Amino acid sequence: MDIMTIIKLIVIFIFASIGVNYVKNKFKK
């Protein structure tokens, strides 16, 4: 695995976490 692939995976993981938290907060109300 090269560094760019690892960085891309980390970025995707961060955006996925933000998206999940956003959806959870939206459906709480």
Question: Residue 1's pLDDT is what?
Answer: 74
Two tokens, residue 29 = 């109300």
Distance CA 17, CA 9 (A): 12
Q: How many domains does the chain have?
A: 1
Residue 21: give the domain boundaries: 1-29
Question: Residue 28's pLDDT is what?
Answer: 82
Quote the pTM value. Answer: 0.61
Per-residue pLDDT tens over the stretch 1-29: 799 999 999 999 999 999 999 999 998 87
The helix or strand, by DSSP H or E, that contains position 17, with its residue range, turns out to be helix 3-28
Smallest CA-to-CA distance from 13 within 21, 24, 28 is with 21
Distance CA 11, CA 2 (A): 15
Distance CA 29, CA 13 (A): 25
